[in-house]
Amino acid sequence: MGSPIKPYQIAVPDSTLETLQKKFSLTTFPGETAFSNDWKYGTPVDDIRRIVKYWQEKYDWRKAEAELNKFPQFTTIVSVDGHEDSLGIHFVHQKGERPDSIPLLFCHGWAGSFLEVTKILPLLTSSDNDEKQTFHVVAPSLPNCGFSQRTSKPGFGVLQYAEVCHKLMLQLGYDKYVTQGGDWGFLITRAMGILYPSHVLASHLNFVLTLPPSPFSTPLLVLQYLTGRLTPAEKAGLERTQQFADKGSGYSHIHKSRPHTLGFALADSPVGLLAWIYEKLRDWTDDYSWTDEEVLTWVSIYLFSEAGPDASIRLYYEIENAPAPASGQMSGKMESFMKYNAIPLGLSYFPRDVVVLPSSWGRTLGPVAFERRHEEGGHFAAYEKPELLVDDLRKTVQNAEISLSRAG
């Protein structure tokens, strides 16, 4: 028998908000230079000064908290083999309006949260057209994120995150389900398809990572690349990917090498946390018009998280340093999740994502039921382009011929 499912409401203590105001009064900003606001050097000083002033004087967390609490939220306890006997997991769970709704797990990444599901939730759970599939949506705060608990032992990697998500679906009575993921959600849902293939009916991905083409395993892809037989959009995607690798990926090297060192700054300084995340919100999206209100609510999920903002980056270290697997077991290394798997796939490519690979590379992941290259959108597609993402997800399920009878 599974652990009980308990209703949950976000309630940040008044004392935490009072401490935040005290920290604002003690903030020390970087010294001004002629290039303090040049994005090439990182987050501009003037942007952070403006947002912090708004945070201190106008932003109302209680208002944001009340809006978030309109979504049906719950907690439950999940055990993780060899790691956690009782890990508290927070999640949003909204059932579809139609009786033929299909269970769907929405899996966020970094620097996202369950907040990303809020715009697509009404689109997925209701429909004014009988031909548009509806879903029972489950969107957990991943362990170490949001209002889920902190893990207590080293080695809690992607395989363990996948176990948490799968067990959560089972505890909710969903034996078979569809998954959707980007960023870490790509790796976690890929792991779920490999570990639990009889349960995962299909997987939609808006972030696509693959092994590089090899002259031994994929010679045609190597030839395609070397001869430039790519579409203009695919060439632009590879340029974007290289740009990110050269100029935008430094954060991940810190996360995966010495996460605890950066963790002190993220845990202690709200302004430092803001600057660290704001850079990604701006650089990883496609000219999305972030309001200061949106940015601060996004950052507050990390600031007020159950585990603390430092815990969220530790997964980078765990996947980089995953131990060699025992005989017959799956490796927790990143390349393990990029091998071919028979779960039907939907692949959505957005031009301002941080990695945008050719479509032919994505097809090496498994049988592709649906794919689309969009002309706009970035890393946080569910939040930036909710209608596009939902349409792609529905087409994936339709093309893969997933129905309630199969999900039941």
Known catalytic residues? 183, 316, 379
What's the CA gap between 256 and 333, in Å, rounded? 12
Q: Are the C-beta atoms of residues 149 and 87 closer than 8 Å to each other?
A: yes
Closest to 168 measured CA to CA, from 132, 196, 190: 196
State the helix-helix crossing angle for 270-283 and 45-57, rounded to 10 degrees. 120
User: Which residue in this structure is represented by tokens 């959600």?
Assistant: 185
Q: How many angstroms separate the CA atoms of 195 and 332, rounded?
A: 12
* Cα–chain center distance at 275: 19
Residues 6+ apart with CB under 8 A from 41: 35
Q: Give yes or no for a contact between 177 and 199, defined as CB atoms under 8 angstroms apart.
A: yes
Tokens of 346: 């939907």
